[in-house]
Structure 1
Amino acid sequence: MTLPTITQDRIDLSPGDELILRFRTWQDYENLLDRRQDKAGLRIRYNSVTQEIRIMSPLPGHGKDADMLADLVKAVLRHQGQDWEAFTPITLRRVNRQGVEPDYCFYIKNRERILGKERIDLENDPPPDLVIEIDLTSTTKVEDYQAIGIAEVWIYRRDRLLIYCFDGKQYQECQTSPHFPERDIKTLLPQYANRGWQVGSSVALREFEQFLSG
């Protein structure tokens, strides 16, 4: 078993590992982002309230679920005639407060405000409208997004989709998605995400698109 390693020059974690560093500053977080270098697969978060940095190395299934759910979201958006911009990976930061790296995020209502931008600066740009987190390797705390102000956060955990809506102060669990109020997203997306493991992602996506058209 390989132990997690953090040195001045490198960060090494095995797939599935999560490391929590306590009593850390924003500068510690910024330094770790710089030292990550080519380890783009690592997720690094910072919470100024808890003073914790969390470093996570996703398992392979983590990426498959994230891609599958994102493809299903895109299918619904296409069916509704809506445009979007999507980002992965991405680092979202509120200086000295919060740093998060969601598995996938979408700009829908605010799409036009970030067109052509390679980097998102939350000092000037709006936060994403929708974030997707896959809880296969670690557990997401929805409170980590409060300082960022994401309108809607989805957490996919153990074949369940949890939907959280931001009321301006905190997150409340919702049974329907404000972005897709006419669809039973909590049931449909886990169903077809699981289908992707059984028959393959492209087949499950095609079946989902046929369902939407039917």
Structure 2
Amino acid sequence: MVLPTITEDTIDLSPGDELILRFRNWEDYENLLSRRQDKAGLRIRYNAATRELRIMSPLPKHGKNADILADLVKALLRYQRKDWEAYTPITLKRVSKQGIEPDYCFYIQNRERILGKEEIDLEVDPPPDLVIEIDLTSATKPEDYQAIAAPELWIYRRSQLHIYLFDGQQYQESQTSVQFPNLDLKTFIPEYVDRGWQIGSSIALREFEQFLFAINERPF
């Protein structure tokens, strides 16, 4: 077994590892981001309230689940005839408060406000309308996004979709999505993510699009 290693020059974690550094400040977080270099697969989070830095190295399954789930969201947006801008990877920061890197995020209502921007600055730009986290080896808490204040947060964990809505102060768990209010996402999103593993991602996506077509009886 290879132990996690952090030096002045390198950050090495094996897939599935998570390293928590306590009693850290914002400068420590920014230093880690700059030292990550070509290890783009590493996810780094910072929460000023807990003073914890968390470094995670996702498993391959983590990336596949994120990819399938994002494809399902894009199908839903096409179904509703909505435009979007999607980001992965991305670092979202509220300076001296919170830094986090969601698995996927979508600008929908605020899409036009970030067009052409290579970096998102939450001091002037809106947060994503929807952020997605896949939990396998580590757990995401809604509080991890409280300073970011994205209107809607999805956490996919153990074949269950948890939906959280931001009320202006904190996240509240919800049975329905603001983005897709008339659909039972908590039932059929896990079904089609699991189908992606059973029959393949592209086939599961095609089945999902056919399902949406059937319930609406009109093409995309």
TM range (shorter): over 0.9
Q: Which letter does structure 1 place at the counterpart of 2:102? A: P
Counterpart residue number, 1:34: 34
Letter in 1 for 2:178: P
2:153 equivalent to 1:153: yes
Aligned length: 214
Q: Which runs of 5+ in 1 are unaligned?
A: none
Q: Helix, strand or coil for the counterpart of 2:169?
A: coil
Cross-structure match for 1:52:
52
Q: Which position in structure 1 is the counterpart of 2:172?
A: 172
Q: What is the DSSP-based 3-state SS (H/G/I as helix, E as strand, rest coil) of the residue aligned with 1:140?
A: coil
Partner letter of residue 58 of structure 1? P
Alignment of 1:1-214 (within 5 A): 1-214=1-214
RMSD over aligned CA atoms reads: 0.4
Distance 2:80 2:141 in 1: 30
Q: Secondary structure at the match of 1:31?
A: helix
Determine the C-alpha separation between the residues in 2 that align with 1:166 and 1:96.
Answer: 21
CA distance in structure 2 between the partners assigned to 1:147 and 1:125 by the alignment:
14
- What CA distance in whole angstroms lies between the structure 1 residues aligned with 2:152 and 2:81? 20
1:13-51 deviation line (CA, Å, top 9, x unaligned): 000000000000000000000000000000000000000
State the Cα distance separating 1:137 from its structure 2 match.
Answer: 2.0
Identity %, equivalent residues: 76
SS in structure 2 of the partner of residue 181 of structure 1: coil
Consecutive unaligned residues of structure 2, counting only runs of 5 or more, are 215-220
Corresponding residue of 2:218: none
- Taking structure 2 as the reference length, the TM-score comes to 0.97
Give me the whole-angstrom Cα distance separating, in 2, the residues matched to 1:141 and 1:15.
21
Q: Check conservation: 1:105, 1:132, Cα contact below 8 A.
A: yes
TM-score normalized with structure 1 length: 0.99
Q: Which runs of 4+ in 1 moved over 4 A?
A: none
Tell me the secondary structure at the aligned position of residue 20 of structure 2.
Answer: strand
Note the alpha carbon deviations across 1:93-113, whole angstroms, 9 max, x for none. Answer: 000000000000000000000
CA distance in 2, matches of 1:91, 1:174: 26
Q: Secondary structure at the match of 1:178?
A: coil
> Could you tell me which amino acid in structure 2 is paired with residue 22 of structure 1?
R
